[in-house]
A and B are shown apart, each in its own frame.
Chain A
Amino acid sequence: MAPLLELDGVSARYGPVAALHGVSLTVDDGEIVALLGANGAGKTTTLRAVSGMVRRAGTIVFAGRQLRANPESTARAGIAHVPEGRGIFAELTVMENLRMGAYVRRGRPDMRMVMEYFPWLETRGNQQAGTLSGGEQQMLALARAFLQRPRLLMLDEPSLGLAPLVTREVFRVVGDLNEKEGLAVLVVEQNATIALSAARRAYVLETGAVATSGSADDLKSNDAVRSAYLGY
């Protein structure tokens, strides 16, 4: 079966600086794939290349079609990208943020379904999104992305700035969405431990290229990966 998302020899640059050198990876329907690596390895750039936020070369195929290189088209094609820093609209209310999630869809947003996974949002509708805690903002960003009803969810460093317990809660929800809704997930993480416990497969990036890849179990027992990213 053809993969849902396929990158083939993707390169990207920020002005004169090349950030990615021929990255190739795949994400299948309904699976969680982790993208690991140190700071500056190119993980965020990879996600940005898929959404078209950065100039890229190489082939990117999603659901059998070439992806056009701009964020609006990516969203309409069925990819929800939660960027670094969550990208919530701080001055708008929680409810307004959620309504924006459903922008690409016709008809009214399916709030009931969102409340099933994020019940606490129900009482916070009118709260200004910028006043939520970091963990709550991450959850809001997830809920909003989910309202897009995407086939692929791309998460950039969801654990950033969050306490370990909160991070686990975030990944639990992501896991739920994956299992019950069949949502494919490509998650960029510096916290390799939690990423490898949630993902089925993973790629490790080093200076803009894929250094290692394999199933999560394989990578957990891989000595090089363990010493470099898992700290033991």
Chain B
Amino acid sequence: MTGLADGSIYASLALALVLIYKATEVINFAQGEMAMFTTYIAYALYTHPHFGQTLGYWPMFFMTLVIAFVFGVGLQRVVIRPLEHASVLTVVMATIALLVILNGLAAWIWSPELKFFPSPFPTSTWVVGGVHISKQDTGTFLVTLGCVFVLWLFFRFTKLGLAMRAGAVNPGAARLLGVRTSWLLALGWGFAAVLGAVSGMMSAPAVFLSPSMMQAVLIFAFAGAILGGLESPVGAVAGGLGIGILLSMLGTYVHAVTPELRLPVALLILLVVLLVKPAGLFGRVVVRRV
């Protein structure tokens, strides 16, 4: 279950990466730090001297999601959109700059020492057929995938969701149909930020809040996204879950794989997948006629 819970956290962040990649062909390297930063904002809300006492967990959670959304939209409008006509490399460099800035900013505002972050789930376990299932892990899994599911509903059934998908496939044609693709890109960043915030707030209780909290998660999420095929949302979720389960099983059954080796193992898996099936498990190889 821990594997699934971890996996769902990676899946959420992986989906955020794929969301932005699908629409803009840019990997947002700052996705993890954005998640970390919004988790700190949640922390600030929760520990606020005035209303922190009366604010319950879930109100804080949802307020943070809204703030994350605005933050994501804002970043796209202010940092990314001016680079609309620049090369992909330039935009990627901008996201890396963002990563560094957010990391430094968080350390400066809140200090780099580890902080405790609350979890809405009890730490007890259920015993099912002799197996201990952690309520915390189950809760994490359900909440994270619940958010992913809601997002899926949005993309599948709403007019705006369809427009965003169309805009990712063929932005020129979408504009000719009246779609303001520029704003939809901002919306995409907003949703990605929300997914990141969920990832962050679900991670923080276990790993403790710190500016470097999401760095490893980003790598695992990236591995999951590539495993699933960068252009496939389903792949991102499956890949993230897969990496989580795989690492958990390896850690449990293969004693040679100590906790420090988790990250290298994940990257090794990534390498093997890319060698064998470069498009990822769910990806398609795109042949472009030159």
Question: Which residues of A come within 8 Å of B, CB atoms?
Answer: 51, 53, 70-72, 74-76, 80-81, 83, 87-92, 96, 99-101, 103-104, 144, 148
Residues of B within 8 A of A104 (CB): 177-178
Q: Measured between alpha carbons, how far is A72 from B184 in the docked complex, in Å?
A: 13
Q: Which of B141-185 contact A (CB under 8 A)?
A: 159, 162-163, 165-166, 169-170, 172-180
Q: Measured between alpha carbons, how far is A20 from B67 in the docked complex, in Å?
A: 48
Residues of A within 8 A of B175 (CB): 53, 70-72, 75
Cross-chain contact of A100 among B172, B174, B180 (Cβ < 8 A): B174
Q: Measured between alpha carbons, how far is A63 from B44 in the docked complex, in Å?
A: 55
Q: Measured between alpha carbons, how far is A53 from B177 in the docked complex, in Å?
A: 12
Residues of A within 8 A of B173 (CB): 83, 87-89
Cross-chain contact of A87 among B159, B163, B165, B170 (Cβ < 8 A): B170
> Nearest Cβ distance between residue A81 and chain B, in whole angstroms?
5
Residues of B within 8 A of A72 (CB): 175, 178-180
Given A87-B176, A90-B169, A96-B166; 4 other pairs, CB 8 A cutoff:
A87-B172, A90-B170, A92-B166, A148-B178
> Nearest Cβ distance between residue B162 and chain A, in whole angstroms?
6
What 4 A-B pairs are tightest by C-beta distance, nearest first? Answer: A87-B173, A75-B178, A104-B178, A71-B175
Known contacts: A72-B179, A72-B180. The answer to whether A103 contacts B163 by CB under 8 A is: yes
Residues of B within 8 A of A90 (CB): 169-170
How many residues of chain B get a CB closer than 8 Å to chain A's CBs? 16
Cross-chain contact of A103 among B165, B170, B172, B177 (Cβ < 8 A): B177
* A89 in contact with B176 (CB, 8 Å): no
* B170 in contact with A75 (CB, 8 Å): no
Cross-chain contact of B159 among A83, A103, A148 (Cβ < 8 A): A103
Q: Which of B32-67 contact A (CB under 8 A)?
A: none
Residues of B within 8 A of A101 (CB): 177
Residues of B within 8 A of A91 (CB): 169
Residues of B within 8 A of A99 (CB): 159, 162
Residue of B nearest to A97 (CB): B166
List 12 contacting pairs A-B, 8 Å CB cutoff, sorted by A.
A53-B176, A71-B176, A72-B180, A83-B176, A87-B176, A88-B170, A89-B169, A91-B169, A92-B169, A99-B162, A103-B159, A148-B177
Cross-chain contact of A83 among B162, B163, B172, B178 (Cβ < 8 A): B172
> Nearest Cβ distance between residue A68 and chain B, in whole angstroms?
12
Cross-chain contact of B177 among A70, A92, A100 (Cβ < 8 A): A100
Residues of A within 8 A of B166 (CB): 89, 92, 96, 100
Residues of A within 8 A of B172 (CB): 53, 71, 83, 87
Q: Measured between alpha carbons, how far is A87 from B175 in the docked complex, in Å?
A: 10
Residues of A within 8 A of B174 (CB): 89, 100
Q: Measured between alpha carbons, how far is A58 from B149 in the docked complex, in Å?
A: 50
* A51 in contact with B176 (CB, 8 Å): yes
Cross-chain contact of B162 among A51, A80, A96, A144 (Cβ < 8 A): A96
Residues of A within 8 A of B162 (CB): 92, 96, 99-100
Residues of A within 8 A of B180 (CB): 72
Cross-chain contact of B176 among A75, A92, A96 (Cβ < 8 A): A75
> Nearest Cβ distance between residue B163 and chain A, in whole angstroms?
6
Residues of A within 8 A of B165 (CB): 89, 92, 96
> Nearest Cβ distance between residue A221 and chain B, in whole angstroms?
36
Residue of B nearest to A73 (CB): B178
Q: Measured between alpha carbons, how far is A202 from B166 in the docked complex, in Å?
A: 34
Residues of A within 8 A of B170 (CB): 87-90
Q: Measured between alpha carbons, how far is A144 from B178 in the docked complex, in Å?
A: 12
Residues of A within 8 A of B169 (CB): 89-92
Residues of A within 8 A of B176 (CB): 51, 53, 71, 74-75, 80-81, 83, 87
